[in-house]
Structure 1
Amino acid sequence: MAARPLVLDDDRVLPTEPAVRAIAREIFAAVRDLPLISMHGHVEASVLADDEPFPDPAQLLVVPDHYVTRMFVSQGMRLEDLGVPRRDGGPVETDGRTIWRRFCAGWHLFRGTPSRFWLEQELHDVFGVDVHPSEETADAIYDQIADCIARPEFRPRALFDRFKLEILATTDAPSSTLDAHAAIAASDWDGRVVPTFRPDALVHIDRPTWKRDVEELGEVAGVAVDTYAGYIAALEQRREHFRKHGALATDHGHTSADTTPLDRADAERIYAAALAGSVEPAAAEAFAAHMLFEMARMSRDDGLVMQIHPGVARNHHAGVHDAFGPDKGFDIPLPVDFTRGLQPMLNAFGTDPGFRCVIFTIDETTYSRELAPLAGVYPSVRLGVPWWFLDSPHAMRRFREAVTETAGFYNTAGFVDDTRAFASIPARHDLARRIDSGYLAQLVANGQLALDEAIETAIDLSTTIPRAAYAPRS
């Protein structure tokens, strides 16, 4: 069988009605080559600090991308067979070519998914691949990509510059030394890579490793954490450490959006019980809600933008988490009550000019009912665009349709790619810009916007709005 050519339709995901598509093309032309602002992602800073060649095509495009691996797991393949490392160092597939062949043999599984969109654009635009992956083409594609990544122009920093990344935010544990960020800042490369403070492991006191993580926090902060006061002081010290290394935001992944604060005495009592290893589930939930409130208070004080993305049952399969660790595709959405959950935080800080927060969700039923009304009145609140399970063409369109009439465009925060797959970043932003161009084109066709307004809005959504949403507080 002849290989199927890989040709990208330049009008992909734009509206199909000819007159609207023509408008969308004009809008998209104004934004397609603008810089990328990546304020929420999971690429490791060490990748850019070390600037070493990527090891092989599988390690670059398959193994770190849980969007890819979870699809194969759903079809019965083991994570070991895809080269995902085990926590215990047990055997997994290490031959990149073998992993790549398995990926190409399963290419049909991605039909209709956003992963297919991103992967096609990566293969075609970044590596020059002109045939679809398949069992027959796997080796040739592997060799072509391997040849590319062996060349200097495909090293991480060169790709960063080629992708027109204006800024890349990483996600980092509070105990991180941020040595990789310091190394980048001290180098002669001018790429901007900033850390993001992610304290989840320290505020969920029922996690098995919580006590060890808190002790590590105290060590790196140089603060005794045997009391609640010391714990709070250590977190504040680490936030300042991050801020001095360029951090612009924090990141919080809680199960619920509850921000109810505790009385100081109750917080101290629960913290002491957790250190003693005897905390009740209800107390752990109350403490997590309290700490979300406390993190808002700290953001008001130090200016770091607070990103909140609740509503995920993390590590749904205990066996996979125990064997492979977190973030292996087994995080599943939950419904969230934002209106009541965020009320304590917003009562305290929602109109405070020193506080800024970006709210994300994967429960899209809340867009028009709760999130757009909240962002449409509280000056501190911005809506994070669809991410994770919602970063797909139809879901992105639904987002604009659900929130724009209530919150407008300028109470959103710009696209976030939320990815570990470095080479996919341009494709993800490209998809978002195409969808926004199509939505704006429909407004023009309906007589709701002039074309020049639509183009200006598209530019703002791509660059002006995210720059403003995460700008350091003066």
Structure 2
Amino acid sequence: MAAPHPDRLLPADPGVRSIARRLYDEVRELPIVSPHGHVDPRILRDDTPFADPTSLFIQPDHYVTRLLHAGGVSMRDLGVGEGPLPDDRARKAWRLLCENWHLLRGTPVRYWFESSLADVFGIIARPSSSNADDLYDRIASLLVSPSRRPRALLRQFGIDFLATTDDPADDLAAHQALRDDPQVATTVAPTFRPDRYFAVDRPGWVSDVKELGGDVGDYAGFIAALEERRRYFIAHGAVSADHGAVDAGAAPHDHPDRLYRAALAGTITAAEATAFRRHMIFEMARMSCDDGLVMTLHPGIHRNHHPATLAAFGPDTGHDIPVAVEFTRALQPLLERFGTHPGFHLVLFTVDATVYSREIAPLAGFYPSVYAGAPWWFLDNPAEIRRYQQAVTEIAGFSRLSGFIDDTRAFCSIPARHEMSRRLDAGFLASLVAEHRLDEEEAVDTLTALVTTQPRTVFKL
């Protein structure tokens, strides 16, 4: 392949493209603000060189492994769910990627991968069976250099703020070490993710909930423990709490203490467990109003769709599948109570593209607390991002957008994902300039805000 084209993803029309190019040039070097992601903070704390190309590019990235798996490649051969592999297995996994590079055609995964190879390692050759070993050796030789260690890349990527995703029981020692280290200029913040403590019918919940600390023998103690853990996260730099469930339901229950007792006794029904989870999402909004954590909500996912893969390789291995989701009625009790509360921020994400214009944009266009989360997961591709730009801004305006969210575990893909977003935003704004709906100065201001001030405003940075 040739070097990435300088006008990639910009509009095809020459006149609009020239506007988009000027807009993109205004923001291409601006720092990255990443308020939601999944990079392990211990990578940055320890600053240990990445072991090999496979552990950097393949094993942590379920975007890559699911496409290879769909094409017939074994997850075991890719080392999914394992730590760094012995050299022979790591090299074999890399060969499998290169031999099956065609499986990534037309996907944003290929775009991010090619951008990372070119920008981080100077590689513009298209991976194939014939050059797999050469590419592996070239990347491996660079990984041991000081300029490719995690902290060096963090600086090179220009990441100003990086949020991770963390269990409420985490001691956050890695975050504390990073905050205390004067050599780390990037703010690395934890995110409070309590989902597993709300799934009260999940096997192992009774023992897991004790990890929160405190007296969790009754509902009042459970609530107190969650409030205490939120305070602990805030003290360690957290700005948001993240919540994912199969639906967006959020409604108070008249007797949550009774449901909690049933959960502890192991007698709670499926319907009661759903009611308790929805009650706890409502409680999370109440706590956010009290302590100021931004609340992000991303429902509509059938987790671990393939039980055998879950058993063999664990969660987050590429088989979480979208389902249809409804927001308007589901969130009405929460928004009735908290939707106009001063300082409450609720960012709504979805993998159901149909709800952007039907529900999320209208909600964000009325409630001062609600923001439309960027397309993510299966929607974080150029086609869906373009549809989102039009669907949401036509109804709610640019000020109700979250700013870009990369939502990635693959460290080297962070700048590639943000670069893609900036190009697509530049293209969309250029079309508004070409249609005489904005002047170019307004477009520059809007694009700069989307990259810098908008995510900082939404996530209270």
Place the TM-score, normalised by the shorter chain, in its bin: over 0.9
What SS does the corresponding residue of 1:95 show, helix, strand or coil? helix
- 1:239 equivalenced with 2:235 (yes/no): no
Task: List gaps (5 residues or longer) in structure 1.
Answer: none
TM-score, L = length of structure 1: 0.95
Amino acid at match of 1:354: G
Matches within 5 A, 1:96-135: 96-135=90-129
Alignment of 1:294 with 2:283, yes or no, is yes
Where in structure 1 do 4 or more consecutive aligned residues deviate above 3 Å? Answer: 91-94
The code of the aligned residue for 2:217 comes to D
Question: In structure 2, what residue type is equivalent to 1:250?
Answer: A
Residue 13 in 1 paired to residue 4 in 2?
Answer: no
For residue 144 of structure 1, what is the aligned residue in structure 2? Answer: 138
Quick check: 1:83–1:94 contact (8 Å CA) kept in 2?
Answer: no
Q: Secondary structure at the match of 2:170?
A: coil
Match of 2:448 among 454, 459, 463: 459
The reply to whether residue 66 of structure 1 matches residue 57 of structure 2 is: no
Aligned partner of 2:427 among 423, 428, 438: 438
For residue 283 of structure 1, what is the aligned residue in structure 2? 272
1:283-313 deviation digits (Å, cap 9, x = unpaired): 0111110000000000000000000000000
Superposed, 1:135-174 pairs within 5 Å as 135-174=129-168
Matched residue, 1:183: 177
Distance 2:201 2:98 in 1: 41
8 A contact 2:73–2:96 mirrored in 1: no
Mapped to 1, the partners of 2:309 and 2:2 lie a distance apart of 35
* Aligned partner letter, 2:427: G
Deviations 1:167-220 (A, max 9, x none): 1000000000000001111223222100000000001111112112101112xx
- Residue in structure 1 matching 2:361, options 372, 376, 380: 372
1:30 to 3, 26, 32: 26
Q: In the alignment, which residue of structure 2 is the partner of 1:316?
A: 305
1:192 maps to which of 187, 195, 198: 187
Letter in 2 for 1:192: T
| CA–CA distance in structure 1, aligned partners of residues 343 and 405 of structure 2 | 23
Match in the other structure for 2:248: 257
Aligned alpha-carbon RMSD (Å): 1.3
AA aligned opposite 2:194:
P
- SS of 2:161's partner is strand
Which residue number corresponds to residue 89 of structure 2? 95
User: Which of 205, 211, 230 is the equivalent residue of 1:210?
Assistant: 205
Q: Deviations over 1:379-432 (max 9, x none)?
A: 000111100000000000000111111110000111010000000000000001
* Structure 1 stretch displaced more, 460-469 or 183-192: 183-192
Alignment of 1:357-396 (within 5 A): 357-396=346-385
Shift of 1:233: 0.3
Equivalent residues of 1:153, 1:159 under 8 A apart: yes
Query: In structure 2, the residue corresponding to 1:158 is in which secondary structure?
Result: helix
* Code of the aligned partner of 1:233: A
Which one is further off, 185-194 or 277-286? 185-194
The CA deviation at 1:94 is 6.5
Contact 2:38-2:408 within 8 A present in 1 as well: yes
Q: Percent identity?
A: 53
Supply the AA of the counterpart residue of 2:81: P
What residue in structure 2 maps to residue 49 of structure 1? 45
- With over 3 angstroms needed to count, the CA separation of the structure-2 counterparts of 1:199 and 1:268, relative to structure 1, is same
TM (norm. structure 2) is 0.98
Q: State the alpha-carbon separation in 2 of the partners of residues 202 and 92 from structure 1.
A: 36
Count of aligned residue pairs for this structure pair: 459
Pair 1:82 & 2:82 matched: no
Does the 8 Å CA contact 2:361/2:392 hold for their aligned counterparts? yes
Contact 1:81 1:93 in 2 (8 A): no
Distance 1:369 1:187 in 2: 46
Query: In structure 2, how many angstroms separate the alpha carbons of the residues matched to 1:92 and 1:12?
Result: 37
